Structure 1
């Protein structure tokens, strides 16, 4: 089995073609800063070509039998399994993933592909009770059409795959726009995998281009029926506005930013709580929407927790993402590094106490931990998307709950306590899409609803929930007959 080779080509309607934009994407390794690939960007013309090919292909692909669709998905699963180490290599090289995080990401992708293999057979027709005895009534589950996917750079392979594989499994066609920082792991790598698995031409295309050139057009285009976007809240709101203002209203599946709290109650196992804070915040440099963005600790155990956290933080390995014990690798690009530097500088200007720090070298930012953080500060209110951890003191359980919910976001959350009944009561009062008791805020399972409240998004991914998002229900009535409704 030869390793995949990538050149200056996009994947459009089953063909590898050079993009027609005058701009190029310089694909840079965030750790070594070496050029991986120089890619001619996709233009508006390329977007048209991909969408129109998908629209044509939908006519035949949507009529594929469940067995045909399932067969393709299982072949994709086999390809990913066989090329696991190759995919991990690309995630480390292109997205700055540590080896630990890359393995987690591939496992997540394998999980959603396996789950998607069940979707074709779950596109069922339901016979309804009819109020007219002379007529039959049915609810028919059908694919939507063409789905547009815009994926991020932090978990590029998995977060592209979870939308792409679901859409294709139930008879939709897909055009994928990966993040400019990760055109391979977020897009072109999927194209190679699906091509190897035998996906029909036109069912799947990848257009890697500048957001400033093709971003708005990609959303506003008349062809796609749904826009699946994963990324920042600010860009997600823009996507929503464009989708609603376009000539044809579009459905939206938005997974946006977060400000996940880890709440440490006064009866918590502090060693466990510290480990949850460290892994929840510093895995993949904090560049995860579910990452623990703040830790809220009951005053009774606050000092003891901070003492243990400082000791643990000194053992966090950062640097080369290809080494097995590295927890913190490189930030994705220089722009993101500067944003995180500004967050740290702003907190220091406000007098917030920094108890753990390290020298920033290139794109490597060591752990930075602030204590006695003002819950009204920007450090506590905004998503840092980096290895910066604010610790907030709560007076009691009620105060901790109020602080946890005092945010414009509501994606993930966690609570640490020795009393599971207490933890469950607390968790049920958190205004978020996901809460985990005695576990980290970063969690994803292929059959569990993934999504948020408030400014963290719309809709749910995974399992039956994404199946509903990516399909439509058609009510059909007809006179009593022996006609079989498929």
Structure 2
């Protein structure tokens, strides 16, 4: 297979994608894209300027007229070709995910599978831009309600699942008839940005409809969100940044679609299958080094089975291989950067200082953060209230179901959750008491299906995506009425 870094250079991966062309950013600022495992340079980008952002949005706006003229069947074919391109280039994409964000081979394959699901679902959208004809209170009036694209959508993607979470908004927005400008996270400009552009360029999307700008916030400030062209802003990332994005978007009368942080709880009742529960809890916490918004950082276990569960959980966590993500045996690769590793280490240290008991203290070697498990924690401790974006878990015993629900809900977040029990009806009843957007009975807290609503409550964001909910997020409706009689007016 060809060298990945050569392939990136040959396909223009180190440039902006604006107006259907690969070009250099117009600032002197250079963004260095580094491999989080060994610190090597993956690529360098000249940052996009505010003028580049403006040109990207204007291009997306202009290109919509050509896209509007494409038939639904031909639009669907673009997404089918995009999926084929991803399938044909899976080995190279796996290399990108490993090199740029430290994902393991297992994680890379998992992410690519999610992308294929999004593309398949998005391909149905052109045929779902329906017209409804609700009845009228006037006998002469015919009502028509048209579903139409919002116009242009701005998408800001994160660093943890950048290919998938970028595509999760980009593909549905395009399929619903919109132009799109994508700004990936500065740590993953390829997987979250230029790779997405490459896929759609190869699939035959009209030039200029999708644009990708690579830059840093100190260079452009709020220009990406404030720009007058986009009517919706889709952001995936931290709650802190998401709050600012929402404020700027609403102030400029744009629709914000937010998927933010999480602090999910996985509840294990006394009658649970402990083999399944332990495996689900470990998968829910340590997948992609715990850098998943749905991760179960709080594992609540009935006191009758707490000691046995904790022993098994710690043993399994301690056995997970940590190291080079290129090694197929590696389960935990590096965190995205040293800043994230330092922050997580500080959070663990603060939790211990507040009284948390250490069941497993993983060493920190640069960006490699080994599994860490705490117990003896209380709801007011920082490790229980903050999002721990890395391989750190808190095990908490409880005595009653009401207590478990109270602990699970005592968080500013509300993205995902899980309940483990042999009584499925009880599991569903308990799930419905949790103040979170998604709950899974006898499964992991990490789950996503392209046709099922995905989203959170409280500081985990608002709005839903996937399936009909993505269609709603990236479209608007227009009422057109036709009076088939002779209208009468009071004056």
TM over 0.5: yes
Distance 1:214 1:434 in 2: 35
| RMSD over equivalenced CA pairs, Å | 1.3
Match of 2:119 among 113, 138, 159: 113
Aligned to 1:371: 375
CA contact (8 A) 2:13 2:195 kept: no
1:484 corresponds to: none
Task: Return 198-207 or 317-326, whichever deviates more.
Answer: 317-326
Mapped to 1, the partners of 2:109 and 2:262 lie a distance apart of 23
1:243 maps onto 2:241 in alignment: no
2:155 corresponds to: 149
Judge conservation of contact 2:166–2:193 (CA < 8 Å) in 1: yes
The answer for the alignment partner of 1:208 in structure 2 is 214
8 A Cα contact 1:63 1:171, kept in partner = no
Aligned equivalent of 2:170, options 164, 172, 181: 164
Distance 1:389 1:410 in 2: 17
Hey, what's the Cα distance between the residues in 2 that align with 1:275 and 1:364? 22
349-358 vs 145-154, greater mean Cα deviation = 349-358
- Which one of the candidate residues 36, 41, 49 is aligned to 2:42? 36
- Partner of residue 11 from structure 1, selected from 17, 20, 45: 17
- Give the superposition deviation at 1:215: 4.3
CA positional deviation for 1:423? 0.4
State yes or no: 1:94 paired with 2:100.
yes
Determine the C-alpha separation between the residues in 1 that align with 2:484 and 2:384. Answer: 62
Query: The residue matched to 1:288 in structure 2 has which SS?
Result: coil
**C-alpha separation between the residues in 2 aligned to 1:348 and 1:238?**
31
State the match for 1:126 in structure 2. Answer: 132
Q: Which residue of 2 aligns with 1:272?
A: 276
Q: CA deviation at 1:68?
A: 2.1
* Distance (Å, rounded) in 2 between the aligned partners of 1:140 and 1:234: 36
Structure 2 counterparts to residues 63-102 of structure 1, below 5 A: 63-102=69-108
Distance 2:36 2:193 in 1: 18
Offset from partner CA, 1:158-190 (integer Å, 9 cap, x none) = 000011110111110000000000000000111
Number of equivalent positions: 479
Q: How does 1:451-466 map to 2 (within 5 A)?
A: 451-466=455-470
> TM-score normalised to the size of structure 2?
0.95
Contact between 1:76 and 1:194, CA under 8 Å: does it hold in 2?
Answer: yes
In the alignment, structure 2 segments of 5+ residues that lack a partner are 486-491
TM-score (norm 1): 0.96
Is the partner of 2:55 in helix, strand or coil? helix
Verify the 8 A CA contact 1:176 1:205 in the aligned structure 2: yes
* Residues 60-84 of structure 1, C-alpha deviations (whole Å, 9 max, x = no match): 3234221121111111111111111
Q: Residue 314 of structure 1: SS of its match in structure 2?
A: helix
Given that 1:140 and 1:473 are in contact with CA atoms closer than 8 Å, whether structure 2 keeps it comes out as yes
Q: Pick which of 130-139 and 425-434 moved more.
A: 130-139
DSSP-derived class of the 2:17 partner: strand
Equivalent pair of 1:11/1:207 in contact (CA under 8 Å): yes
The offset of 1:435, in angstroms, is: 0.2
d(CA) in 2 for partners of 1:433, 1:268: 23
Structure 1 contact 266–301 (Cα < 8 Å) conserved: yes
Distance 1:185 1:215 in 2: 23
SS at match of 1:451: coil
**Aligned residue in 1 for 2:488:** none
1:177-226 deviation digits (Å, cap 9, x = unpaired): 00000000000111111111111111000001001222411001100000
- 1:55 and 2:54 matched: no
Distance 2:315 2:198 in 1: 45
- SS of structure 1 residue aligned to 2:365: coil
**What is the Cα deviation at residue 273 of structure 1?**
1.3
Alpha-carbon shift at residue 351 of structure 1 (Å): 2.6
Deviations 1:214-261 (A, max 9, x none): 241100110000000000001000001111222xx1011100000100
**3-state SS of paired residue (1:386):** coil
Q: Distance in 2 between matches of 1:354 and 1:347?
A: 10
Which residue in 1 is equivalent to 2:308? 304
Q: Secondary structure at the match of 2:478?
A: strand
- Please tell me whether the aligned partners of residues 62 and 143 of structure 1 are also in contact (alpha carbons under 8 angstroms): no
